[in-house]
Structures are given as structure tokens and as C-alpha cells.
């Protein structure tokens, strides 16, 4: 059975080029091409893809908003961002809305096909350049914040690093990718952080850290 793919891009010449590339794979079938997020959602009602290749900057409904809408309506559909923009705000917004990966349009044909297959299988697709963007964004937090959290809760160096990322809104997958950890290791660290905070969920943990840092 072929993996059904939808391409969403407001530049039709790029969509056609991507469609041609994907047609070289016997494992993929392009079942739809849309010009923006709104158009994609309408077409998905008639023909649901397995993987959506989604641009970020588009009229009517951009890729970040469209990602959230797609995942809300069709949780099992994989959304893979394919764009020319590597801004960390775009990356984090798309991933926070449920995208399973973020690719740049300078990717090679074979790598794009592999990325779609891997996304379909449930992998997180973050090339080194993108992972570094996430990591750099995490490092912008102040050292004062880290010192105060370490002192208040007895965090180790790694725990305080992850605690700050939790505080900043990173999800487990983003933390694992940014710090080059497995998702299981990331979850173990987060469980320890919850224990030291005396909390059992993310919202309570963030609230407790905010209370501590606001004093």
C-alpha cells in the first residue's frame, strides 16, 4: 500500500516540482495539491492523506495555523513542514502545533522521499541545522533563572537545562532533539524534575517554577 501525500504550497511551480520528485518513488502517491491551509482542509474532507507536506508562509491560512487545524481534525495525519524559512519561532510554533518534522526546501530528492517515509512510520524529522536552531533558542534563557531554579529545587545541570526548556514551552520531542537525547531519556529527566518540584504534570510544574521565579 502506497503512502498518500498531500502537497500544500502557494507557489504552484514548486508544488509541481515536488510532485514530480515524489512520483519517482513506488512507495508514495500524491493524492492532492493545495494552495494554502484552508484549501488543504477542504480537499482533505474528500481525500485524506497519510502525510501532508506543508509550507509555512501562505495566504488565507499559513502553515502554523493549518498544522494545528489538521492535527485537531485528523490526529493520525502526519504533518511535515517543507519551507525556505528556518526561523526558530516558525520551527517551534509548527512543532508545538503538532508537526512531526521541519525540512528546508534545499533538501535533495532522495532525502525528501526518505523523510516522508520516516514521518509516516512515526519518526521526528529534524535535520541537524534545524535541531541546532531549537538548541540555540533554548540557550537564550538567562543564567539567573537557571541559578534560582537549581538553588530552589536541587536540580542537576542537565535537569535545570530541561526544566528551563519546559518552562519555555518546549515539548518532550523538542527537548530530546535539541539536547540529542532519546525521547525515553528525556521523559526520565522530566519525571525526576516533576518529583523534585512536587508535581505530577507539566502545567503544575510550570506554575511552580513561575511562582519561584516571580519572587
Segment 28-40 shows an average pLDDT of 95
pLDDT band at 138 (very low <50, low <70, confident <90, very high): low
Domain end among 125, 151, 171: 125
- Which three cell numbers mark 8? 500544500
pLDDT band at 143 (very low <50, low <70, confident <90, very high): low
Of 133 and 141, the structure prediction assigns the larger pLDDT to 133
Query: What whole-number distance in Å separates Cα of residue 169 and Cα of residue 173?
Result: 12
Structural domain including 9 reads 3-125
Whether 79 maps to a domain, the answer reads: yes
Q: Is the pLDDT of residue 142 over 60?
A: no
Query: What whole-number distance in Å separates Cα of residue 163 and Cα of residue 150?
Result: 10
pLDDT band at 140 (very low <50, low <70, confident <90, very high): low
The total of structural domains in the chain comes to 2
pLDDT band at 144 (very low <50, low <70, confident <90, very high): confident
Query: 209, 144 in Cβ contact below 8 A?
Result: no
pLDDT of residue 94: 84
- Which three cell numbers mark 145? 533563572
Same-domain pairing of 116 and 43:
yes
pLDDT band at 157 (very low <50, low <70, confident <90, very high): confident
* Residue 209, H or E segment: helix 202-213
Is the overall model pTM greater than 0.75, yes or no?
no
Q: Supply the mean pLDDT for the chain.
A: 88
Query: What whole-number distance in Å separates Cα of residue 71 and Cα of residue 80?
Result: 12
Query: 47, 32 in Cβ contact below 8 A?
Result: yes
In this structure, what CATH number is given to the domain that contains residue 178?
Answer: 1.10.10.10
pLDDT of residue 174: 85
Q: Is the pLDDT of residue 141 over 60?
A: no
Whether 135 maps to a domain, the answer reads: no
DSSP tag of 30: E
Query: 3, 27 in Cβ contact below 8 A?
Result: yes
Q: What are phi and psi of 82, to 5 degrees?
A: -130, 110
pLDDT band at 132 (very low <50, low <70, confident <90, very high): confident
Same-domain pairing of 22 and 108:
yes
Q: Is the pLDDT of residue 188 over 70?
A: yes
Same-domain pairing of 114 and 167:
no
Same-domain pairing of 8 and 113:
yes
Nearest to 37 by CA among 15, 14, 68, 16: 68
Counting residues of the chain whose pLDDT is more than 90, the rounded percentage is 56
Pairing assessment for the beta strands 101-104 and 78-83 based on DSSP bridges: parallel
Amino acid at each position: 500500500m502506497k503512502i498518500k501525500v498531500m502537497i500544500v504550497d502557494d507557489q504552484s511551480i514548486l508544488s509541481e516540482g515536488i510532485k514530480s520528485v515524489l512520483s519517482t518513488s513506488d512507495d508514495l502517491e500524491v493524492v492532492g495539491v493545495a494552495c494554502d491551509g484552508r484549501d488543504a482542509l477542504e480537499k482533505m474532507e474528500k481525500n485524506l492523506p497519510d502525510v501532508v507536506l506543508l509550507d509555512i508562509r501562505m495566504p488565507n491560512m499559513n502553515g502554523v495555523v493549518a498544522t494545528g487545524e489538521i492535527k485537531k481534525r485528523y490526529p493520525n495525519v502526519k504533518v511535515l513542514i517543507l519551507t525556505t524559512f528556518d526561523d526558530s519561532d516558525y520551527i517551534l510554533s509548527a512543532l508545538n502545533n503538532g508537526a512531526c518534522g521541519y525540512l528546508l526546501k534545499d533538501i535533495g530528492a532522495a532525502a525528501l522521499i526518505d523523510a516522508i517515509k520516516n514521518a509516516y512510520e512515526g519518526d521526528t524529522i529534524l535535520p541537524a541545522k534545524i535541531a541546532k536552531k531549537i538548541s540555540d533558542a533554548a540557550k537564550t534563557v538567562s543564567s539567573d533563572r537557571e541559578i534560582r531554579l537549581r538553588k530552589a529545587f536541587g536540580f542537576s545541570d542537565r535537569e535545570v537545562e530541561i526544566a528551563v526548556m519546559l518552562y519555555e514551552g518546549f515539548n518532550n520531542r523538542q527537548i530530546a532533539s535539541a539536547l540529542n537525547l532519546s525521547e525515553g531519556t528525556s521523559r526520565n529527566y522530566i519525571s525526576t524534575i516533576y518529583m523534585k518540584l512536587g508535581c505530577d504534570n507539566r502545567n503544575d510544574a510550570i506554575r511552580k517554577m513561575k511562582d519561584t521565579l516571580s519572587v
